[in-house]
Amino acid sequence: MGMGRKKTTAERSDGERAGRRRGLLTAMAVLAVAVAAGAVLLAVAARHLDAGDRPVLAGGIPVVREELALLAGFDRAVVASEMLAASGEADSETFWTRERDGRSLLDELEERVKRRLVLGRAESLLALEAGVIEQAGYDAFLRRLEAENESRKRAQANGEVVYGPLSFDERTFYSYDAARLRSGTIAAWAEQGDAEPGEEELRREYEERKADFVQTGEVRLQWASFAYEQGDETSRQEAERAARQALAAVQGGAELNEAAAEVGGKTSEALLTSASKRSYALEYPLAMEAAAELRPGEPGAIVEERGAFHLLRCLSRAEDRALPFEEVREELAASLLDKRYEERAQEEAARMEVEWDERTVRRWLLESSR
């Protein structure tokens, strides 16, 4: 087979020039798209600026006064209450700007808002990169809010179950949206295999946290209660006396239910599992504390809670069980992905470029605080 004719030097030069022209045209097209996108962002920012204001940007995306006002709403009351608690000063025209020990409340509010803004922007950029949202920034946030409220409105009209509020306001939706972007980003990473923890990492995490993966053994209790009328000291004394009589009888070998019934007490059984123990502890923390160390057959000390004296006796106690790796593998993977998300969000926030015109920001914050 014959070889094709070699290109002359002039032909090679023409081809190289044509390639360079194509590359230049491509670069110009990319630059034009970037300039257009930048122009859109600046136009968005300009709609929210007054004369004398300068653009404020985080991650190349405009920050607007309404966005700062929304974020300030999460911290304003905390900052103000901390100062009022410390000094007892009432609100005044200079409440936010007056310096106390070289620092004003406005300084503290600005610092908190900036930290909240940058981290929130970092998380929205991670969601953008993962394909969870199509745009980041305040205007995109408002569009998601409108779409969510429309979706809930339609669902209600169609007789569907709507969980949570029927309509969000901006502040409530901000937290809801942040949680949704977070879970969506983590789910996208898991689906794409990005940041998915490997087997070796999972097992290492399991060994380090073994103490966290223990199933509490079930405990069966007899529970006798001796109620009294609130505010009636005589009734209270009678209830305490009855409880002590029942305890003496149990210590003498009697069954708790029989001993309690003889002096007017009411007895029931309680099964304590990992879940039910938490529920009981919310209402009867002292009783749960008394039950914690009881061995089978033992009665506990008398405790007074919620308008009654309580006497507990342990019927049986199962041993705690260490959960094997396979049973907690998914939980470990989820916790590691959460940890990875936190790390990436913090890294994104740390390297984010922020154009922060302090004069503009402080004026916006003062306006939103009046």
Identify the pLDDT of residue 53: 74
Identify the pLDDT of residue 95: 84
C-alpha closest to that of 256 among 295, 293, 300:
300
Task: Tell me how many degrees the CA angle 145-146-148 measures, rounded to the nearest 5.
Answer: 65
CA dihedral 136, 142, 144, 145 (to 10 degrees): 150
Identify the pLDDT of residue 267: 92
**b/e sequence 91-119, b meaning 16+ C-beta within 10 Å:** eeeebbeeeeeeebbbbbbbebbbebbbb
Q: Which residue has the tokens 């409108």?
A: 146
C-alpha closest to that of 126 among 332, 334, 342, 336:
342
Identify the pLDDT of residue 180: 95
Alpha carbon distance 351, 336 (integer Å): 23
> What sign for the dihedral angle of Cα 296, 298, 301, 306?
positive
Q: What is the H or E stretch that residue 271 is in?
A: strand 266-272
Q: What are phi and psi of 312, to 5 degrees?
A: -115, 150
CB-based contact 224:260 (threshold 8 Å): yes
Identify the pLDDT of residue 10: 43
Alpha carbon distance 146, 368 (integer Å): 23
C-alpha closest to that of 122 among 319, 368, 343:
343
Question: Which residues are CB-neighbours of 314 under 8 A, at least 6 positions away?
Answer: 219, 220, 221, 291, 294, 295, 296, 297, 298, 300
Identify the pLDDT of residue 108: 92
Q: Is 288 helix (H, G, I), strand (E, B) or coil?
A: helix
The DSSP 8-state label assigned to residue 299 in this structure reads B
Identify the pLDDT of residue 100: 80
Alpha carbon distance 64, 187 (integer Å): 30
Distance spanning both ends of the chain, measured CA to CA: 87
The tokens for 72 are: 């300030």
* Residue ranges in the chain whose pLDDT is less than 70: 1-52, 83-92, 194
Alpha carbon distance 249, 314 (integer Å): 16
